[in-house]
């Protein structure tokens, strides 16, 4: 079965090119970080954030050999502060996979206020043609409130952005949803 995370990868494969800058805003165990590192190629071009040191250690092992990845033990709300000056306004792809890390404590979870702050910072730093993908999970405690706030922010974006929403229509439980937001002009 196709998952919304597969659609996110598909969209980014068409967008992020070798030499581009990319951000993994929720590194976790580093699967998406590795995916982005493989897209951008062998220069210093992927920046990752997570608040869990243990997850970052797993991610660091996963991306070992990809010298172009810099991982930060800091929330994604640090994006503006920690991306290098040459990446500012030049991001081709930013991935968010919200919620909690499977296998880790479920109270270590993304939160509405920092998610909205990070999403705004990511959008501000997209180059034209760049894309944010965000997988949102309405099913866990606090997840619906976060999902509502994100959808509201995205619905109100100006015409410089094009936003697409995908979700399984015949799910019996709250299903993950994908938002893909492209910057189409300044
Ligand atoms: C669904 S998991 C991400 C899975 C990850 N993409 C992977 O490939 O393993 C969500 C992650 O968001 C992290 N997280 C929670 N709050 C965060 C924040 N403010 N900034 C960055 N990451 C955060 C959690 O620690 C968790 O690792």
Q: 60: CA distance to ligand 1 center in Å?
A: 14
Nearest protein CA to atom 27 of ligand 1, as residue: 28
Q: 123: CA distance to ligand 1 center in Å?
A: 18
Residue 93, CA atoms < 13 Å, CB-side half-sphere? 27
Which contacts (CB < 8 Å, 24+ apart) does range 42-46 have? 42/66, 42/67, 42/68, 43/19, 43/68, 44/68, 44/70, 44/84, 45/19, 45/20, 45/21, 46/21, 46/22, 46/70
121 CB within 6 A, ligand 1: no
Nearest protein CA to atom 22 of ligand 1, as residue: 50
Q: 151: CA distance to ligand 1 center in Å?
A: 19
* 170 alpha-carbon distance from chain centroid: 25
125 CB within 6 A, ligand 1: no
One digit per residue, the tens of pLDDT, for the chain of length 186 reads: 999 999 999 999 999 999 999 999 999 999 999 999 999 998 769 999 999 999 999 999 999 988 899 999 999 999 999 999 999 999 999 999 999 999 999 999 999 999 999 999 999 999 999 999 999 999 999 999 999 999 999 999 999 999 999 999 999 999 999 999 999 999
User: Which is nearest to 130 in space by CA: 176, 79, 88?
Assistant: 88
Measured CA to CA, the distance from residue 35 to residue 47 in angstroms comes to: 12
Q: Give 8's strand partners.
A: none
Q: 36: CA distance to ligand 1 center in Å?
A: 15
75 CB within 6 A, ligand 1: yes
What single DSSP character describes residue 4? H
Confidence at residue 67, expressed as pLDDT on a 0 to 100 scale: 83
């Amino acid at each position: 079965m196709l998952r919304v995370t597969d659609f996110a990868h598909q969209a980014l494969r068409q967008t992020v090119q070798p030499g581009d800058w990319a951000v993994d805003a929720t590194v976790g165990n580093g699967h998406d970080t590795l995916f982005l590192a493989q897209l951008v190629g062998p220069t210093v071009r992927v920046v990752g954030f997570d608040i869990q040191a243990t997850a970052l250690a797993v991610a660091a092992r996963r991306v070992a050999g990809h010298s172009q990845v810099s991982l930060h033990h800091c929330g994604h709300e640090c994006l503006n502060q920690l991306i290098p000056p040459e990446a500012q306004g030049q991001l081709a792809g930013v991935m968010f996979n919200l919620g909690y890390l499977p296998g880790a404590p479920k109270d270590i979870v993304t939160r509405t206020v920092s998610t909205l702050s990070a999403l705004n910072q990511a959008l501000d730093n997209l180059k034209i043609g760049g894309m944010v993908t965000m997988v949102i999970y309405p099913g866990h405690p606090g997840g619906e409130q976060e999902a509502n706030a994100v959808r509201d922010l995205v619905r109100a974006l100006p015409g410089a952005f094009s936003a697409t929403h995908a979700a399984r229509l015949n799910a019996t439980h709250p299903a993950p949803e994908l938002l893909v937001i492209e910057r189409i002009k300044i």
